Amino acid sequence: MLPSGNLREPISGSRRADVIVFTKCDEKMDQSIQVQMEAKANLKSNQNSFFSYIHYREELLGMDGSTLKMEFLKSKSVFLFCGIANPSPLKQFVEDNCESLKTKFYPDHHDFSVADAIQLKSEFLKFAKSSDQAHVLITTRKDQMRLMNKEIQYHLKELPIYIVDMEARFLPNQNVTIDQLILNFVADRPNN
């Protein structure tokens, strides 16, 4: 199967799963919505379900190794750029934590070029001149990896680029934790 689109495997693959994880849910998802999603997924009695959400970390990591607390951005202008499938949650998170926001979104899995770096630098410098506030660029860990080319780094090296990290967290499950489930699964398997 090719890793493309929202699903890496046909939905029919869920029939053989012991655990179904609904990803990118709202952190405050109501229990009734969870029940509806489970019903729609037609879970079998032996299947456990979990709901996860994206949590953005409160500390940004600079390309130069420095760190910056999100609270520092409350009175700052931020230029957010990224090439991810759905930048809306990230945009909302950054927007909630800064004075003003400018965005530049690329297609998912965008392969940054030197021309992109030159254009990004130009747009950021123009943005930075628009007010007296301190300005920073923010991108994702995924996009940072695509900016590591030496030629691209040459054009971006003097820019205050920071990385926002994220992690998946699970909503509480009243029956069992995913850790318990994994430990039970491993304990039930003979040593190989």
As for how many domains the chain has, the answer is 2
Instruction: Quote the domain boundaries for residue 118.
Output: 58-164
77 and 158 in a single domain? The answer is yes
In sequence order, which ranges of the chain are alpha helices (DSSP H)? 31-41, 88-96, 114-129, 141-145, 150-156, 178-187
Question: How far, in Å, are 108, 125, 141 from residue 163 at the CA level?
Answer: 17, 19, 6
DSSP state of 174: S
Same domain as 149, residue 63: yes
Task: Tell me the residue type at 98.
Answer: C
Specify the pLDDT at position 133.
Answer: 72
Q: Does residue 132 surpass a pLDDT of 80?
A: no
Least confident of 15-29, 67-81, 125-139: 125-139
Are 184 and 46 in contact, with CB atoms under 8 Å apart?
A: no
pLDDT reading at 179 higher than 70 = yes
CA separation for the pair 8, 13 (Å, rounded): 10
Do residues 127 and 94 share a domain?
Answer: yes
Q: Any idea what the CATH number is for the domain that residue 156 is in? A: 3.40.50
Instruction: Determine the average pLDDT of the residues in 115-132.
Output: 91
pLDDT (0 to 100) of residue 192: 55
pLDDT band, very low/low/confident/very high, at 3 (cuts 50, 70, 90): low
pTM above 0.85, yes or no: no
Q: Are residues 64 and 152 in the same domain?
A: yes
Give per-residue pLDDT as tens, 27-45. 999 999 999 999 988 889 8
In a domain, 6, yes or no: no
Residue 153 above 80 pLDDT? yes
pLDDT for position 137: 95
